[in-house]
Amino acid sequence: MEPEAAARTWLAPAKINLALHVTGRRDDGYHLLDSLAVFTRFGDRLEIEPAERDEFHIAGRYAAGLPTDGDNLVVKARDALRRQAGARQTPPVAIRLEKNLPIASGVGGGSSDAAAALNGLARLWNLDVDQAGLARIGLSLGADLPMCLKAKPLIARGIGDELSPLADFPALALVLVNPGVTVSTPDVFKALTRRDSEALPALPKRLDFHGVRNWLETTRNDLDEASRSIQPAVGEAIKALNKAGAGFARMSGSGATCFGLFETGNVAKRAAIEIRGRHPDWFVAATRSMEAG
């Protein structure tokens, strides 16, 4: 088999909102955000290879219940890119999704899967499309697709489409915890009592564990209270992270996945083992965020 025809594997990382302020709402109903997001080395995986006909399969811990037809964002991404490039340039492919991230959990799993599909298919099909072109296609599928296409530390503003990469932001040791519940993002936004928060404060000059942790203490996740009103288990996840020694713990996105910040990777791994021992049915993963480079 020629190298161009070989199967290729693409990481669809978890998107973690370290801080998230809701700064307004547009007339069309979209909320305006100001968020610092990082992406982790742990996530879903997509394997893509040429095939005689289009195929899409899902396996993994969280595969159950996910659609494998046109309702899945991966299939939507494939079809949108094909419409843009034309059928002659986009022959059939087999896509296999390994679903390792909890569903509807505030870590952008579906969007990250679709972004990995766009990046992977553009490469496999050797398409003449740049990142801006992929971002335009991605935005038609979801507001957080453009940031998932970048998958590097960034500030996201607007509806999530105005991106400012953070060139010097460090890799962080994290533990991700989900108490086994899902939260509907639309329901969380409906439950908001305030939509006019201030923008995020300026980042500190010292970007290390201590500097980032201290800065995070001055920020919020404005979706936290609304999410806890729908799923009180979010609070249990935060308590578990703090009990395991997290330097800082918060909910990501609209929940219910929470993250804990730890000073080193080894400390994070020990904390994950401790939490998993107390809550064997929860999703728990020790990981690191990806650096800008």
> Which residues are known catalytic residues?
15, 144
Whose tokens are 């800008």? That residue is: 292
Q: Are 103 and 63 in contact (CB under 8 A)?
A: no
Beta carbons of 182 and 102 less than 8 angstroms apart: yes
Beta-carbon-side half-sphere exposure of residue 144 (alpha carbons within 13 Å): 28
**Measured distance CA(202)–CA(211) in Å, rounded:** 12
Cα–Cα distance measured from residue 288 to residue 275, given in angstroms and rounded to the nearest whole number: 17
Question: What CA–CA distance (Å, rounded) separates 169 from 116?
Answer: 22
